[in-house]
Amino acid sequence: MRDVDVLPVLRRPLAREARTAVEAWATVAWLLAVEGRALVEDIEGGVEQPAMQHVAAVKLLELLADVDARLSASAPVAEVHLLAVALEHGMPAVLDATGDELVELFGVADGLDGGDPGPDAVTRLFDRIADGFPGDVPNPLLADGQGPVLRALRSWGKLANAAAIDASFLEPFLKDA
């Protein structure tokens, strides 16, 4: 399997208005920090439960498909269709990978049974995406994780203000924090 490029969207010009771009990028950072890191924790902690690891890997793939749609400014995809869309069209904003490569990368065909790619490969891939994302993708699951999450929310609010847009889209995140 070739080493796939993460976040190729970062090398493309931004082709949308500031408001939608700021909302999309802040929402993606939140999804990666909160939902993505929780799924990675499930994968890492499910050593004795390979079926649960497999489900978490599929859910992570679906989450990344949602992230891809948001970063691509594509039409929203219903949650029940995320996996099918990702496997049909790949994830051109998040991963330079075809649907067949996504099946292999996430082990969704045969399950994560400790074989190739295995749960460690899935979590490493997520870490590459989170590390490559502009700014900080905080980890709220760490003992001191709430501070970085609140700082990230504050930074996204400042970004919204600098772009002269209403930061109210961050309110649901504050309730989750």
Per-residue pLDDT of the chain (177 residues; tens, 9 = 90+): 578 899 998 887 766 777 788 889 999 999 999 999 999 999 998 888 888 888 999 999 999 999 999 998 888 889 999 999 999 999 999 999 999 899 888 887 765 444 456 788 899 999 999 999 988 899 988 888 889 999 999 999 998 999 888 999 998 988 776
CA distance 177 to 8: 29
| Contact assessment for residue 29 and residue 157, using Cβ atoms and an 8 Å cutoff | no
Total tally of structural domains belonging to the chain: 1
Per the domain annotation, does 64 fall within a domain? yes
Per the domain annotation, does 169 fall within a domain? no
User: What pLDDT is stored for residue 111 in this prediction?
Assistant: 54
Q: What pTM was estimated for this model as a whole? A: 0.88
Per the domain annotation, does 95 fall within a domain? yes
- Going by C-alpha positions, the residue among 130, 113, 131, 135 that lies closest to residue 57 is 113
Query: Domain span at residue 60?
Result: 8-138
DSSP 117: S
User: What pLDDT is stored for residue 14 in this prediction?
Assistant: 66
Mean pLDDT for the chain?
Answer: 87
Owner of token pair 């649901």? 172
